[in-house]
């Protein structure tokens, strides 16, 4: 009894000492992370050692084989505490003594159990039906408002009804000048030209503003401004972000795609589908849209790279893809589910790894890295058929040029710009990496089991690939393994036959083993149309119900297998050749039970019997539409006719070298930094987010809340096509809401949901949920038109309100009653005035260039990066550059590791993560920019020269300057003030020797113009 | 425009908007602002109270780029000397897992006890050795990554993979600054380190908290040099701009953003004076210059960096980081450990000078000095005759000195060869938690909400090493 009392007392005391939220904090900060980190691996969904799970309070209470793990309120009776204290009576946990918990961690557990072991409610499996953002977009009727207010747009009643409920109203409209300046910056990111101001002021027709909006939406500068918003959200930059920050010379194509898409008002759903699956859609669509669709997948390809051998960190790149996809399209942070079911949102680990499998089954263009300095897997912008032929021709030309160069004994530059068509059959892109990689296979190959990339597995034959250093080794008794690649793109549907090549040898050691290896070609891994077996004694082919020997072979001899697969007759012919061997076979039938499609190649352990297999080394895999030449120990170069004149040889070689350099840089056709299809497969969950700790296998699929399911494991393709559909289908409420909210936010400075990248439980609910749904529904029914949404918003009274909190007396416009009843915050939240904003970094630079008459409005393409042939960037000497130009700032080259100095000074986008919302900080270093930066001085100087050409009259110059910078004339006071300034400045300049008298006037005018550029009126939009 | 900005901009104190429109002399304005100690939420740099009272007011962070060999500097290993040439098995080498037999390599510098406390230091750092009575040498530092980039990011931001706010940015965010004419966080580096500007970035914290880069040389800060020929001309410009801004404000009086921006020009004007003052060493006497090993007129070298650090610290800068070299030609002694010698010579006397100078001025009592590298170097190598050492993050050495630190002690131990931590590990997160604690901040409470999560410098771990606190 006494004990019970003590327990109760403890419990009560502890509860007093630890109020709920504090207990929750202890749990979230000190208990849960330790459980996840140290215990989940053996005691959660994946595995429950000793019958125990520790992933819920209930599980801990029911405990495992040893009984309940915790006694809430009595830490000392709790097995869990004893285990982590390594009490002699119980099994110490974690079992590994080196991983013992620290004293502070143990005491956190003690406190938590003592306080009742609460498992915070919001962390229990979340029911998404209850959260507003996952609910259907509901049709909305406009709420009633007082009759005497004139309203311009269907959205006004939604805003006004809330204001009226608070005793306030929509403010009077901004004056026309202000409205024009606001609209022009909003839509094109530039100040209006004086002529545009005049035209609008003179236009008294009721639809004058509507015409302004239409004019701005039709301007090519619109896409440059709104495209930039999207580029912020998708963390666009021109470098890869691994430790040496390799340049991405082709990324600009995606940047321009985005700009063009906004200019064309591409339906938003289509815009998304193209970015997620454009390479797949390209094959279905009209040929003239092939290139743009492929380019669109730059959205995914731009995912950040990590480490000095970024393919070793592919899991982090995919994580970046999923994080960005979740936040940009769905407003959900999916990233948490990488390590555990999402604490707050309806995202499970299964959801996460379903998406992961989709991206792991896709192929990302490779930007180069410190370890592998050449970029590759760029995606052709012409159809497969066309690109394949061009690639073959290109390869031949390269080979013949190399032959000439080698013949002249000149150094051969290593190949760059390997494109998608490269299957990496010679495994030269798989070179074992120092310091990290264990020589495992990376894309385009997919592998499972114990294999390695070694020098000893380099084949001596050169009939297919000219040079090489490595091949693949499978050790004797390697157990189950598979290396595979989807080869859809290599075998066009309409072709009659194709050719296959592979070099191999059975290793000498372990040659006594009875087992075999298989080479399979088929429609999917499990439906081969052709299966060849290699044992230490024979190469055999499967026919229905048995095996036929094709050739008897000996171990430790490099052999070459060639096949010609005839798709029309469904037969295969070929040969196994070696120094002492030439076994030819003809017209063997393909496996009848297959569906006849051949788009997947694998080399794997035979699984028909439990026999150990001998070691196998293989290399030089090729799939070609043309016949492949027979084996040769000589490369193609030596097969060319010899040129005997040495000087001719040398000049030929030099010519060839120059030609080769161009050829290698330009490639056989235009390409993009984009995505393509990889080898479809399921993935193991990464327990605790660690790829080295595989958990259960998850098939490709979408997240549950999108009502997307899992894909059949045998289904063809990565699954991005399906994902694109799931993201944009009608019953997904998030996609439209998130985008509509962004458009709203970029007009008003804040979203209806003020956390634009987080519509989850941790985000802030909408201030005007009915309005959000009204707009979302309208967005979808308008055909996902972003431009239509601009019109709806900008023609509203809500948008056209004044930003002034005190209305000037001269205007004789008094505040409407009740205006002062709103606190400022509330007033902002309810849109009872328009919120003033500072110009963004890009607007600042572009506006300075524009008013000074120096802005180049042409559209830019790539950046002047050094030739890829010269690349050798390392973490010790990473790529870094700043390229100046006078085109719009959206075309500035930005890097992930080193931020652009100007953009970072004025709160430009984060180059490493999605930026939903620019900050508008005010720091003295920005003021120093306006005072002293050469850019500002040079622009003001040029501007002054132009004004001087226009007129020699100071008041005319001042008037013109005010009209450019502020879209208005100076007041009389301002004019005389400016004139006095010019005079005082000239006089002061005269005091300094070295200023020629004739430039004093010019310098004074430049100084005045700098003050205009630095002023608040220039930098803020009302 | 962020949510917080909108809220904050409208909540500014009256003082700032009154001052904002004024034509007061810049000096007076900044003084007024500096005295306005009431924490203003609108102004992310205004001084803020710590979580609890703290001994340290500021940090000077000395970062040696490339990985200093612990067994050749701060961590004596007689057994490594005795067993040099023998092999040890290790299960990972330069990021590769597997079983490797490695040759133990003899430390190249002799150790001997120094000071009253008798802490052993090698001949690599003869001048710092004389300061051991002021140091707490940690011999059980641990990092998470074997590569420079990640380890450098880790020691600065607590994150080994992703860009996150730097330690200095967190301190600036937590405590603000007391001198508005100078940035709160200054980095003095001759060259870019591994991972570049991310090392002093503010990432998701407001941009005002990012480190301001000072590069040794004639023009140490961008745009700090007045471009017009005289102050008078610049005052004319500022006055003209202020008049325009003032008129603009008339109908926009309640907007704190506008007045803050007007103030920023006055601060900038002040910085133009105060920053060059920091770099003007003409008032430093010969003896002081000598302490730093600096010859008069020189504007480079680690001695210059250290002296500038003291002058910034004196003027209230919260966090000064010195990077000795950059991402190349640094302590990364793969080829030959003797390449440590010139690098040590570059920093040894200046650091000892800095410590003595701070001490004689009484500044060591409220200044925390931190010395570290991103990792140590392997006590072994793959070849018996290898002259260099490879990256080693399993254990390395750092030291702390000054405010709140128990001086003249060592903390933690590596094993007999200096391969692993043997006792009292100090992970980078623990190191950061301790530095924040010394500055009066609880590393678990110093958080920032970003993408729906409360981020902290120490992620989900970190322990304040109470044992080394005085």
Note the pLDDT tens digit of each residue in A748-791: 999 999 889 989 877 889 999 999 999 999 999 999 999 999 99
SS3 assignment, position A626: coil
Q: CA nearest B463 in A: which residue? A: A104
Crossing angle (nearest 10°) for helices A176-188 and A220-233: 60
Confidence at residue B112, expressed as pLDDT on a 0 to 100 scale: 97
Contact A643, A649 (CB under 8 A): yes
| Cβ-based neighbour number of residue A642 at 10 Å | 7
φ, ψ for residue B212, nearest 5 deg: -95, 125
Residue in B4, B6, B272 to test binding to A, most A beta-carbons within 10 Å: B6
- Residue A121 reports pLDDT greater than 90: no
Whole-structure pTM value: 0.81
d(CA B422, CA B141): 11
Mutate to test the interface with B, among A921, A979, A1007 (most CBs of B within 10 A): A921
- pLDDT classification of A418: cutoffs 50, 70, 90: low
pLDDT in the model for residue A405 = 87
Least trusted range by pLDDT, from A60-69, A266-275, B121-130: A60-69
Chain B closest-CA separation from residue A726 CA (Å):
24
List the one residue out of A938, A924, A949 whose CA is nearest residue A1009. A938
Task: Give which of A839, A927, A1012 to mutate to test B binding, by max B Cβ within 10 Å.
Answer: A927
Q: Residue A878 and residue A897: Cα distance in Å, rounded?
A: 9
Question: What is the per-residue pLDDT for A66?
Answer: 83
Please report residues of A whose CB lies closer than 8 A to that of B161.
306, 316
Phi-psi region of A744 (alpha: psi -120 to 50; beta: other; left: phi over 0): alpha
Phi-psi map region of A545: left, alpha, beta (phi>0 left; psi -120 to 50 alpha): left
Partners of A930 on chain B (C-beta within 8 Å) are: 265
Closest by CA position to A37, among listed A84, A5, A72: A84
| Mean of per-residue pLDDT scores for chain A | 85
Distance, CA of A909 to CA of A921 (rounded, Å): 13
- DSSP 8-class letter at A705: G
Indicate if the pLDDT at residue A381 is higher than 90.
yes
Q: Decide: residue B47, CB within 10 A, 0-12 exposed, 13-18 middle, 19+ buried.
A: buried
Identify the residue whose tokens are 């035979």: A606
Tell me which residue of A263, A425, B366 sits closest to A271, measured CA to CA: A263
Q: A358-362, A627-631, A668-672, A720-724: which range is least confident on average?
A: A627-631
Is the peptide bond between A444 and the residue preceding it cis, with omega within 30 degrees of 0? yes
From residue A658, give the alpha-carbon distance in Å to each of A410, A645, A667, B12. 12, 20, 14, 65
Chain A residue with minimal CA distance to B198?
A897
CB A456 within 8 A of CB A617: yes
Token pair of A147 as six digits: 């009759």
Cα–Cα separations (whole angstroms), residue B248 to A967, A1012, B23? 14, 12, 15
What are A863-880's pLDDT values in tens digits? 999 988 888 899 888 999
Give the rounded percent of residues in chain A with a pLDDT score beyond 70: 88
- Over residues B42-77, the pLDDT tens digits come to 567 788 899 999 999 999 999 999 999 999 999 999
Q: Does residue A483 carry a pLDDT above 70? A: yes
Q: How far apart are CA B348 and CA B303, in angstroms?
A: 9
Q: Among candidates B26, B123, B144, which has minimal Cα distance to A924? A: B26
For residue A1001, the surrounding DSSP H or E stretch is helix A997-1014
For residue A437, pLDDT over 50 is answered with no
Residue A3 confidence (pLDDT): 46
Q: Do B243 and A977 touch (CB under 8 A)?
A: yes
pLDDT at site A775:
97
pLDDT of chain B, 470 residues: tens digit per residue: 333 332 233 223 323 333 333 333 333 334 434 434 333 445 677 888 999 999 999 999 999 999 999 999 999 999 999 999 999 999 888 777 778 889 999 999 999 999 999 999 999 999 999 999 999 999 999 999 988 988 999 999 999 988 899 999 999 999 998 887 888 999 999 988 888 888 998 888 877 788 888 989 877 888 998 999 888 999 999 999 999 999 998 888 777 778 878 878 888 888 888 888 999 999 999 999 999 999 999 988 999 999 999 999 999 999 999 999 988 889 999 889 999 999 999 999 999 999 999 999 999 999 999 999 999 999 999 888 889 999 999 999 999 999 999 999 999 999 999 999 999 999 999 999 999 999 999 999 999 987 667 899 999 899 999 999 99
Q: Which of A913, A839, A883, A901 is nearest to B212 (CA)?
A: A901
pLDDT at A55: 78
The answer to whether the Cβ–Cβ distance between A897 and B6 falls below 8 Å is: no
Beta bridge partners of A546: A543
Q: For chain A, how many residues are written?
A: 1022
How far A475 CA sits from the closest chain B CA (Å)? 17
Confidence of residue A898 (pLDDT cuts 50, 70, 90): confident
- Rounded to an integer, the average pLDDT of A318-328 is 93
pLDDT of A211: 97
State the average pLDDT over residues A101-117.
85
How much is the pLDDT for A525?
64
Q: Which residues contact A995 (CB under 8 A, 6 or more apart)?
A: A989, A1003, B229
CA distance A322 to chain B (A): 14
pLDDT of residue A761: 77
Render pLDDT for A669-717 as a digit per residue (tens, 0 to 9): 999 999 999 888 999 988 777 777 888 899 998 887 776 677 877 778 8
- Of A108, A68, A86, whose CA–CA distance to A77 is shortest? A68
**Helix, strand, or coil here: A118?**
coil
**Which residues from A are below 8 Å from B227, CB to CB?**
931-932, 934, 937
- In A606-759, where do the E strands start and end? 616-624, 671-672, 675-677, 683-686, 694-698
Task: List the single residue in A901, A925, A1014 with the smallest CB-CB distance to B212.
Answer: A925
Q: Which segment, A15-29, A220-234, A391-405, A798-812, is predicted with the most confidence on average? A: A220-234
B1–A750 CB contact, under 8 Å? yes
Higher pLDDT residue, B8 or A833? A833
Region A895-905: mean pLDDT is: 89
Closest CA to A383 of A295, A292, A298, A290: A290
Which residues of chain A make contact with B198, given a CB cutoff of 8 A?
897
Residue A125 has pLDDT above 60, yes or no: no
Regarding predicted confidence, which is higher, B23 or A110?
A110
Neighbours of A167 (CB within 10 A): 12
């Amino acid at each position: 009894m006494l004990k019970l009392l003590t327990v109760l007392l403890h419990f009560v005391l502890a509860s007093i000492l630890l109020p709920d939220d504090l207990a929750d904090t202890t749990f979230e900060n000190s208990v849960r992370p330790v459980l996840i980190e140290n215990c989940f691996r053996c005691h959660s969904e994946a595995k429950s050692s000793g019958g125990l799970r520790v992933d819920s309070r209930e599980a801990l209470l029911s405990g495992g084989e040893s009984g309940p793990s915790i006694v809430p309120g009595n830490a000392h009776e709790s097995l869990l505490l004893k285990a982590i204290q390594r009490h002699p009576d119980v099994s110490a946990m974690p079992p590994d003594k080196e991983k013992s918990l620290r004293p502070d961690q143990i005491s956190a557990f003690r406190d938590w159990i003592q306080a009742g072991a609460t498992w915070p409610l919001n962390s229990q499996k979340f029911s998404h039906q209850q959260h507003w953002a996952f609910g259907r977009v509901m049709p909305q009727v406009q709420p009633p408002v007082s009759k005497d207010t004139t309203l311009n747009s269907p959205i006004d009643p939604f805003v006004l009804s809330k204001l009226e409920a608070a005793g306030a109203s929509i403010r009077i409209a901004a004056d026309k000048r202000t409205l024009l300046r606001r609209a022009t910056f909003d839509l094109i990111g530039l100040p209006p030209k004086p002529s545009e101001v005049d035209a609008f002021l003179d236009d008294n027709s009721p639809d004058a503003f509507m015409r302004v909006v239409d004019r701005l939406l039709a301007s090519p500068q619109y896409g440059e401004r709104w495209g930039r918003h999207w580029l912020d959200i998708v963390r666009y930059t021109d470098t890869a972000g691994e430790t040496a920050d390799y340049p991405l010379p082709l990324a600009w194509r995606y940047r321009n795609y985005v700009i063009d898409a906004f200019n064309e008002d591409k339906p938003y759903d289509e815009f998304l589908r193209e970015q997620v699956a454009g390479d797949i859609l390209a094959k279905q669509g009209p040929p003239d849209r092939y290139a743009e669709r492929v380019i669109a997948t730059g959205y995914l390809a731009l995912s950040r790279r990590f480490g000095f051998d970024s393919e070793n960190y592919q899991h982090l790149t995919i994580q970046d893809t999923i994080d960005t996809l979740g936040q940009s399209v769905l407003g959900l942070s999916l990233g948490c589910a990488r390590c555990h079911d999402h604490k707050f949102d309806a995202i499970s680990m299964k959801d996460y790894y379903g998406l992961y499998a989709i991206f792991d089954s896709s192929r990302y263009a490779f930007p180069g890295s410190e370890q592998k300095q050449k970029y590759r897997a760029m995606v052709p912008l012409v159809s497969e058929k066309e690109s394949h032929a061009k690639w073959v021709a290109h390869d031949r030309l390269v080979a013949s040029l190399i032959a000439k160069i080698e013949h002249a004994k000149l150094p051969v530059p290593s190949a760059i710009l390997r494109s998608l068509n490269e299957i990496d059959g010679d495994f030269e892109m798989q070179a074992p990496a120092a310091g990290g990689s264990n020589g495992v296979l990376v894309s385009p190959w997919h592998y499972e089991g114990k294999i390695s990339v070694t020098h000893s597995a380099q084949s001596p034959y050169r009939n297919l690939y000219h040079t090489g250093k490595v091949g693949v080794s499978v050790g004797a008794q390697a157990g189950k393994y598979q290396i595979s690649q989807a080869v859809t793109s290599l075998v066009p549907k309409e072709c009659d036959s194709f050719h296959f090549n592979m070099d191999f040898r059975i290793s000498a050691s372990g040659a006594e083993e009875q087992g075999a290896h298989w080479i399979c070609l088929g429609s999917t891994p499990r439906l081969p149309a052709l299966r060849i077996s290699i044992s230490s004694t024979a190469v055999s082919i499967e026919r229905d119900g048995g095996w036929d020997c094709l050739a008897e072979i000996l171990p430790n001899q490099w052999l070459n297998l060639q096949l010609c697969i005839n798709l029309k007759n469904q037969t295969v012919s070929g040969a196994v050749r070696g120094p002492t061997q030439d076994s030819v076979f003809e017209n063997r039938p393909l496996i009848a039970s297959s569906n006849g499609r051949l788009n997947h190649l694998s080399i794997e352990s035979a699984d028909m019997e439990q026999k150990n297999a001998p070691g196998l080394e293989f290399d030089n895999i090729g799939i070609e539409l043309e016949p492949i030449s027979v084996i040769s120990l000589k490369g193609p170069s030596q097969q060319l006719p010899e040129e005997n004149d040495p000087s001719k040889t040398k000049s030929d070689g030099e010519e060839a070298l120059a030609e080769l350099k161009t050829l290698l840089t330009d490639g056989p056709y235009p390409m993009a930094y984009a995505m393509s299809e990889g080898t479809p497969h399921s993935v193991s969950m990464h327990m605790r987010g660690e790829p080295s700790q595989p958990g259960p296998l998850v098939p490709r699929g979408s997240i549950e809340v999108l009502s997307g399911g899992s894909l059949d494991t045998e289904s063809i393709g990565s699954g991005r096509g399906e994902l694109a559909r799931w993201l944009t289908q009608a019953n997904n409420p998030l996609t439209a809401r998130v985008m509509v909210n962004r458009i709203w936010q970029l007009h008003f400075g804040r979203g209806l949901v003020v956390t634009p990248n987080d519509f989850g439980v941790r985000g802030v609910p909408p201030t005007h949920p009915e309005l959000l749904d009204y707009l979302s529904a309208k967005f979808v029914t308008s055909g996902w038109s972003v431009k239509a949404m601009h019109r709806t918003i900008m023609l509203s009274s809500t948008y056209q309100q004044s930003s002034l909190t005190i209305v000037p007396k001269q205007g004789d416009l008094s505040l409407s009653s009740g205006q002062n009843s709103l606190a400022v915050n509330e007033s902002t939240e309810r849109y009872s005035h328009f919120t003033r904003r500072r110009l963004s970094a890009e607007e600042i630079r572009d506006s300075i260039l524009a008013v000074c008459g120096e802005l180049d409005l042409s559209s830019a393409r790539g950046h002047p990066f050094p030739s890829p042939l010269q690349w050798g960037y390392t973490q010790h000497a990473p790529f870094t550059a700043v390229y100046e130009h006078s085109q719009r700032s959206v075309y500035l080259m930005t890097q992930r590791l080193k931020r652009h100095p100007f953009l970072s000074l004025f709160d430009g986008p984060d180059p490493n993560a999605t930026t939903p919302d620019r900050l508008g900080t005010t720091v003295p270093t920005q003021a120093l920019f306006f005072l002293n930066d050469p850019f500002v001085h040079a622009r003001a100087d040029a501007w002054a020269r132009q004004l001087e050409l226009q007129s020699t009259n100071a008041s005319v110059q001042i008037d013109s300057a005010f009209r450019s910078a502020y879209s208005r004339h100076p007041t009389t006071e301002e004019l005389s003030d400016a004139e006095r300034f010019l005079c005082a400045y000239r006089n002061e300049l005269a005091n300094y020797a070295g200023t020629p008298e004739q430039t004093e006037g010019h310098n004074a005018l430049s100084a005045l113009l700098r003050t205009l550029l630095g002023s608040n009126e220039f930098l803020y939009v009302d | 425009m962020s949510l917080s900005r909108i809220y904050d901009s409208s909540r500014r104190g009256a003082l700032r908007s009154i001052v904002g429109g004024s034509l007061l002399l810049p000096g007076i304005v900044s003084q007024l602002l500096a005295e306005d100690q009431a924490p203003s939420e609108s102004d992310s740099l205004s001084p803020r109270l710590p979580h609890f009272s703290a001994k340290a007011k500021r940090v000077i962070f000395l970062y040696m780029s490339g990985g200093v060999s612990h067994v050749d500097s701060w961590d004596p290993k007689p057994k490594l000397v005795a067993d040099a040439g023998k092999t040890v098995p290790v299960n990972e080498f330069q990021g590769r897992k597997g079983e490797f037999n490695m040759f133990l390599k003899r430390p190249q510098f002799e150790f001997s006890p120094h000071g009253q406390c008798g802490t052993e230091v090698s001949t690599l750092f003869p001048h710092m050795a004389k300061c051991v009575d002021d140091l707490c040498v940690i011999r059980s530092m641990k990092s998470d990554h074997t590569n420079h980039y990640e380890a450098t990011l880790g020691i600065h931001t607590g994150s080994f993979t992703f860009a996150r706010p730097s330690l200095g940015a967190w301190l600036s965010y937590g405590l603000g600054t007391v001198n508005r004419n100078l940035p709160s966080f200054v980095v003095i580096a001759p060259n870019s380190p591994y991972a570049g500007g991310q090392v002093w970035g503010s990432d998701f914290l407001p941009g005002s908290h990012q480190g301001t880069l000072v590069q040794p040389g004639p023009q140490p800060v961008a745009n700090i040099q007045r471009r017009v020929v005289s102050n008078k001309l610049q005052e004319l410009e500022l006055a003209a701009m202020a008049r325009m801004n003032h008129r603009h404000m008339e109908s926009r009086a309640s907007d704190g953003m506008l007045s803050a921006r007007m103030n920023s020009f006055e601060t900038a004007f002040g910085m133009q004076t105060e920053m060059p003052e920091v770099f003007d060493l003409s008032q430093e006497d010969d003896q002081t210059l000598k302490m730093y090993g600096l010859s008069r007129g020189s504007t480079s070298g680690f001695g210059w960096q250290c002296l500038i650090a003291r002058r910034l610290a004196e003027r209230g800068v919260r966090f000064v980081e010195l990077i000795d070299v950059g991402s190349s030609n640094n302590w990364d002694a793969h080829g030959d450990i003797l390449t440590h010698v010139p690098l040590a010579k570059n920093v040894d006397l200046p650091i000892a000078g800095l410590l003595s100078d701070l001490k004689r001025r009484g500044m060591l009592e409220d200044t925390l000095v931190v010395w570290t590298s991103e990792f140590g170097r392997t006590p072994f190598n793959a070849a018996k005759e290898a002259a260099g050492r490879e990256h080693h993050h399993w254990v390395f050495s750092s030291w702390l000195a000054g405010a709140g630190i128990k001086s003249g002690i060592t903390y933690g131990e590596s094993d007999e060869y200096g391969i692993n931590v043997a006792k009292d590990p100090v992970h980078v997160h623990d190191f950061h938690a301790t530095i924040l604690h010394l500055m009066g901040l609880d590393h678990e409470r110093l958080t920032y909400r970003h993408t729906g999560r409360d981020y902290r410098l120490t992620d989900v771990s970190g322990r304040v090493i109470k044992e080394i606190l005085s």
